[in-house]
Structure 1
């Protein structure tokens, strides 16, 4: 029997009776549920993982110290596509597979992007706040239809955003080092260098992983290339946008506003962003819906079992570990 630990921000009741847990138990796994409202301390993680052969987790950090201390862990199955919180090098060094769930939450993130765009364009959150505080202050917004949408990162999520943009008859621009020319041709998407995309877009939506080369990709210089009427949407990772620079350009009116689901430090605490009417905030939930959660959880469970059965799991990040195990 294998031991699988689930370390999650979702309460045990969400996992109990889920298809993912049922699938694990069907495959001779003992499952332990560990709920944390915020990131657990390293010693807590070590205590949990020393008893585990497999781990399902979300965006909690797993450091070199944690991963070099645990002895029996074979796989970390991340629910989602970002793996920047996991020290992948340390996992690889210790023979631990790291997997993600590509595509499982793409539709959910894309829906959230459109929600943020509409909220900004039509001042929906501001109107809600005004009415609840006893004020009737109509704001004149803009139409999203037929505007220019710039997508930074045309991967699975970026493509889902593009399809939704087509429904609004938007002109679509994209920036990506790896260009899918077939998809672009099918959806009338024009690839541009990053500076050109920023200068031409009415809405800029970020869909890149957080890697050393993407940290601070959008700094003060890049943000000032945007139109003063343009909006920035970030549902990827907070570190891709330099937060201090973003605050500066928002205060200076250099861009019209921002819709942010991710932040450089989470949870967001005492940030100037919280008091800006031209900013719409959400607590890193773009990729989490009932449907996407079920898909991510089950795909993670499948990845766990594939590793236990010495099969190459879907969404394997550190390919070298699997090759070394063969």
Structure 2
């Protein structure tokens, strides 16, 4: 390694707001750590100003454009502290020979638990009751129990698998949609796979845990919403683009959808307020993987991935 330490850029909001021990340990490996603005999603201009001298990048959910990568003349690896790569220009990175690594499974439990929490919040109107009491009222909305209801899990990977297991453990009948139909270890009395259309028509609660379709179109559009049960609940802890917001707002306005609970927005924090401010919407601020345990696991894996790639490139001793 040269006398001047090589630099690693760190941009996830959870890590810039409060430096993590696993990130700081990369200094012990001989690297300088460069942080983006603490606690904020970095803009394209900020990334372009920070990335040119960096050989590694521990990245979050911030959008990464081809302009940013074009400015990264020394970059050898991007390591996500999650599993999604929708925010990265993968073909452009491949063409530049820049490796991409993910922290597979690191935040699955945190996101799954939030999805279950959002189900309870929607079915029992917990946020509305809390807000009403704080305003001096005494709101009493009749709730719905998960036990005996049908929960549809769209995407049965690491996160969806945990949600399916938790929902089944609560006494729900679980229907899954996943082209791979992985083995989840659940009793056929509690779980079955079905087509997406069949899942939507059968489920009282639909929860999304899948990547975006390859064509970039919303999975839950006007047709899908029309095929859902009357007054169903839709949960989205995956990606904002999975749901067509125009069709969603129409379904919420008409009362065809009982509630929409989401942890993700196309812009974070959202400037367009039509969904965030809707009375039938429960919103959280992208906190699915923002638990002590998930952050620790994801950061440890992401940092290790960076060091492995850089050591391999430079043939450094481990």
TM over 0.5: yes
| 1:112 alignment partner, one of 94, 111, 114 | 114
**CA 301–282 in structure 1, closer or farther in 2 if over 3 Å, else same:** same
Q: Which residue of 1 aligns with 2:6?
A: 2
For residue 186 of structure 1, report the CA deviation from its aligned partner. Answer: 7.3
Q: Which residue of 2 aligns with 1:155?
A: 157
Residues 101-133 of structure 1, C-alpha deviation per residue, up to 9 Å, x if partnerless?
111000000110011000011110000110111
Q: Which residue of 1 aligns with 2:178?
A: 176
Structure 1 residue 57 corresponds to structure 2 residue 83: no
Separation in 2, partners of 1:34, 1:264: 21
Residues 33-79 of structure 1, C-alpha deviation per residue, up to 9 Å, x if partnerless?
22255443333212211111101121111111111222111111111
Q: Which residue of 2 aligns with 1:280?
A: 282
Any idea what SS the aligned residue of 2:255 has?
Answer: coil
For residue 187 of structure 1, report the CA deviation from its aligned partner. Answer: 8.1
**CA 187–63 in structure 1, closer or farther in 2 if over 3 Å, else same:** farther
For residue 86 of structure 1, report the CA deviation from its aligned partner. Answer: 0.9
For residue 12 of structure 1, report the CA deviation from its aligned partner. Answer: 4.3
Residues 228-271 of structure 1, C-alpha deviation per residue, up to 9 Å, x if partnerless?
13100000000011111111111111121111111233322242
Number of equivalences? 309
Residues 138-177 of structure 1, C-alpha deviation per residue, up to 9 Å, x if partnerless?
2211111121110000000000101111220111101111
For residue 291 of structure 1, report the CA deviation from its aligned partner. Answer: 1.2
**CA 197–23 in structure 1, closer or farther in 2 if over 3 Å, else same:** same
Q: Which residue of 2 aligns with 1:319?
A: none
Residues 281-312 of structure 1, C-alpha deviation per residue, up to 9 Å, x if partnerless?
1111112111111111111100001101228x
Q: Which residue of 2 aligns with 1:93?
A: 95
- TM-score for both structures, normalised by structure 1: 0.89
Separation in 2, partners of 1:187, 1:52: 53
Alignment of 1:63-82 (within 5 A): 63-82=65-84
Separation in 2, partners of 1:4, 1:250: 44
- TM-score for both structures, normalised by structure 2: 0.91
For residue 180 of structure 1, report the CA deviation from its aligned partner. Answer: 1.0
Structure 1 residue 247 corresponds to structure 2 residue 249: yes
For residue 178 of structure 1, report the CA deviation from its aligned partner. Answer: 1.0
Q: Is the 8 A contact 2:17 2:38 kept in 1?
A: no
Q: Is the 8 A contact 1:113 1:235 kept in 2?
A: yes
Separation in 1, partners of 2:277, 2:32: 46
Separation in 1, partners of 2:91, 2:37: 26
Q: Is the 8 A contact 1:8 1:35 kept in 2?
A: no
Q: Which residue of 2 aligns with 1:269?
A: 271
**CA 253–303 in structure 1, closer or farther in 2 if over 3 Å, else same:** same
For residue 135 of structure 1, report the CA deviation from its aligned partner. Answer: 0.7
| 1:231 alignment partner, one of 230, 233, 237 | 233
Structure 1 residue 14 corresponds to structure 2 residue 18: yes
Structure 1 residue 205 corresponds to structure 2 residue 230: no
For residue 211 of structure 1, report the CA deviation from its aligned partner. Answer: 4.1
Q: Which residue of 2 aligns with 1:27?
A: 29
Q: Which residue of 1 aligns with 2:316?
A: none
Separation in 2, partners of 1:43, 1:291: 32
For residue 212 of structure 1, report the CA deviation from its aligned partner. Answer: 2.7
Q: Is the 8 A contact 2:56 2:306 kept in 1?
A: yes
